[in-house]
């Protein structure tokens, strides 16, 4: 957490990875199978489609690196930002974002939001909701189908996530 809170470099750090702990090392264990994670932390959002704050082997990610904006600094009323897809004259999908917050308006300036976050409007809508969650009118079947789509190996293809 000290890296994220650093005054000079904190805002430029996307993630911090913790070192492994080496318990009862064995010289014959060339692949280090006995290594364990120093810290095992599960933070908020792990059970929602909005996405976790913690991912991977001892890694903590800055939420802005994943979702494109910081969490709210003070308790506010939940504001939902809707992302709509429509087809332009070439038949290509394009996104329209309705935003009211300054942080979310930064996302609006990026005309190719789908190129940044992928083609799941449900995922983008839940990510742009300050307190997480999904539209209550969504069916469980639709949520499950969308979650499987977002988890797929090819979801980040042709996006900035897949490129960067």
Measure Cα distances from 143 to 13, 50, 81, 140 in Å.
32, 12, 18, 5
Residues 42 and 88 occupy one common structural domain? no
Query: Hey, what are 159's tokens?
Result: 């996006």
| Domain total in the chain | 2
DSSP 8-state code for residue 82: E
pLDDT at 88: 54
User: How high is the pLDDT of residue 109?
Assistant: 46
Last residue of a domain, one of 37, 67, 97: 67
Tell me the per-residue pLDDT of 131-141, one tens digit each, with 9 for 90 and over. 666 777 888 88
What is the per-residue pLDDT across 57-76, written as a single tens digit (0 to 9) for each? 667 777 677 666 665 555 55
Burial class (CB in 10 A: 0-12, 13-18, 19+), 69: buried
Q: Are residues 101 and 63 in the same domain?
A: no
Interval 29-42 mean pLDDT: 56
Specify whether 55 is located in the same domain as 88: no
Q: What is the mean pLDDT of residues 81-102?
A: 53
The number of angstroms, rounded, from the C-alpha of 130 to the middle of its chain's C-alpha atoms is 13
60 and 124 in a common domain:
no
Domain that holds residue 60: 2-67
């Amino acid at each position: 957490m000290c890296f994220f809170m650093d005054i000079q470099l904190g805002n430029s750090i996307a993630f911090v990875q913790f070192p492994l702990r080496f318990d009862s090392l064995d010289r014959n264990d060339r692949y280090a199978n006995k290594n364990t994670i120093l810290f095992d932390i599960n933070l908020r959002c792990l059970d929602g489609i909005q996405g976790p704050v913690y991912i991977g082997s001892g890694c903590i990610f800055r939420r802005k690196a994943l979702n494109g904006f910081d969490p709210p600094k003070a308790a506010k009323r939940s504001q939902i930002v809707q992302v709509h897809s429509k087809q332009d004259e070439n038949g290509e999908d394009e996104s329209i974002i309705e935003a009211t917050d300054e942080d979310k308006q930064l996302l609006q300036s990026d005309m190719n939001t789908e190129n940044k976050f992928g083609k799941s409007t449900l995922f983008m809508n839940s990510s742009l909701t300050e307190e997480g969650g999904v539209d209550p009118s969504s069916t469980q079947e639709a949520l499950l189908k969308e979650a499987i789509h977002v988890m797929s190996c090819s979801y980040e293809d042709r996006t900035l996530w897949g490129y960067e």
